[in-house]
Amino acid sequence: MELDRKSGVPYYIQLKEQIRRRITQGIWPAGTKLPPERELAKSIAVSRNTVSQAYKELEGEGVLSSARGKGTFVEDTALIMQQESRKEKVLRIVDLAMEEAVGLGFSIDDFVSFVHVRGMEKKDQLSRMKVAYLVSNPEQLADVNWNLGPGVNLFPLLLSELQESPRAQECISGMDMAITGVSRLAEVKILLGKQHIPILGISLQPRLDTIVRIAKLSIGREFALVCESNQYAEKIKLALRQAGLYPAFRTLIQPNETNLREVLPQCGAVILAPRLRFRVEKVLPENMECIEFHFEPDAGSLNLLRGALLELKGEKF
């Protein structure tokens, strides 16, 4: 593996590309152990931190996984293949645009600068968009840490509140878009019929890491399932069944110290609705696994949403 020292491309970016290439070319299949950071750093004569940054970003993209003391491993080749093919598509268009720009007499620097400025403008515009997220359970109000792109403002609202309070209705009219789970879509469309804002249905799925952790623990153990509402508990159970998991449950709605102290010691692990951790923490027995159950939109829904936002922006400005 070698770096181009004169190209001006940051070393860690070059490294990422080379690692990507080795994976896509099948030289490093899934599960391969990558060279340790120190070793690779020494072999290409850069700081370990440079290697570390490359590894870490690829880890963040789901391509690699690192564990202290063990090493860094190729995680998911299918994912990176897919990413690469998408990236290739984008790069083809970028090349096209670049040649067009050069043909029109701009330099490559000009072009990059155009894109840079244009990108900042778009981000700026996006960050001014306000999106209402209509949910039916109070637990969902807190579970909105999705990556919509930098600074799209997501305002969670309870459907029941919306039905009762005219204040909430007013609040909606200031938004640029409303989203909700597909199962509630029809209902929401009727409710917001008079307001002329676009409504988008998104489908939620449990976060993969959540499912994996539960799967690892679900052999011969009983779980405590702690929620604020029965509906949410049912939602979680349904999601687990759909993932092929049928663990034994003790369901605890509206937890307080008394019933927590009673139930928890009888269980092998705890599954929590989001933001309930602090209520359970003091009562939690030593060494007991405690899993917050998060939902997130699937990739398709996210793309749909992102695209819709960009289009909206186009109309707005």
State the DSSP H helix or E strand holding residue 74, giving kind and residue range, or none if neither: strand 71-74
Nearer to DNA, 50 or 180 (CB): 50
Position among 19, 46, 214, 233 found at the interface with DNA (CB under 7 A):
46
* Per-residue x/- track, 59-98, DNA (CB under 7 A): x------xxxxxxx--------------------------
Q: Residue 18 and residue 249: Cα distance in Å, rounded?
A: 47
Position among 32, 52, 153, 259 found at the interface with DNA (CB under 7 A):
52
Cβ at position 97, least distance to a second copy in Å: 4
Strands 177-181 and 130-135: parallel
* 97 to 89, 112, 118, 121, 287: CA distances (angstroms): 13, 11, 14, 19, 56
* 298 to 48, 54, 215, 232: CA distances (angstroms): 36, 27, 20, 19
Position among 69, 105, 166, 193 found at the interface with a second copy (CB under 8 A):
105
Helix 108-127 with 77-103: angle, nearest 10 deg: 120
Q: Does 90 bind a second copy (CB under 8 A)?
A: yes
Task: From the list DNA, a second copy, none, pick the one residue 60 interacts with, judged by a Cβ distance below 5 to 8 Å according to partner type.
Answer: none
Cβ at position 280, least distance to DNA in Å: 22
Position among 47, 173, 183, 256 found at the interface with DNA (CB under 7 A):
47
Position among 193, 282, 299, 315 found at the interface with a second copy (CB under 8 A):
299
Q: Does 201 bind a second copy (CB under 8 A)?
A: no
Cβ at position 55, least distance to DNA in Å: 6
Q: Residue 170 and residue 148: Cα distance in Å, rounded?
A: 24
Assigned token pair, 263: 């139930």
Position among 5, 33, 38, 123 found at the interface with a second copy (CB under 8 A):
123
Q: Which stretch, 42-50, 100-108, 156-164, 216-224, contacts a second copy (CB under 8 A)? A: 100-108
Q: Does 39 bind DNA (CB under 7 A)?
A: yes
State the DSSP H helix or E strand holding residue 134, giving kind and residue range, or none if neither: strand 130-135
Q: Does 293 bind DNA (CB under 7 A)?
A: no
Task: From the list DNA, a second copy, none, pick the one residue 223 interacts with, judged by a Cβ distance below 5 to 8 Å according to partner type.
Answer: none
Q: Contact, 161 vs 181, CB < 8 A?
A: no
Q: Which of 192, 161, 163 is nearest to 178 (CA)?
A: 192
Question: Among residue numbers 131 through 190, which ones bind a second copy (CB under 8 A)?
Answer: 147, 149-150
| Angle at CA of residue 233, ends 231 and 239, nearest 5° | 100
| Angle at CA of residue 180, ends 241 and 129, nearest 5° | 135
Say how many Å lie between the first and final Cα of the chain, rounded: 47
CA atoms within a 13 Å half-sphere pointing along the CA-CB vector of 102:
9
Where does this chain bind a second copy (CB under 8 A)? 4, 6-9, 13, 86-87, 89-91, 93-109, 111-112, 114-124, 126, 147, 149-150, 299, 302-303, 306-307, 310
Where does this chain bind DNA (CB under 7 A)? 10-13, 34, 36-39, 46-50, 52-53, 55-56, 59, 66-72
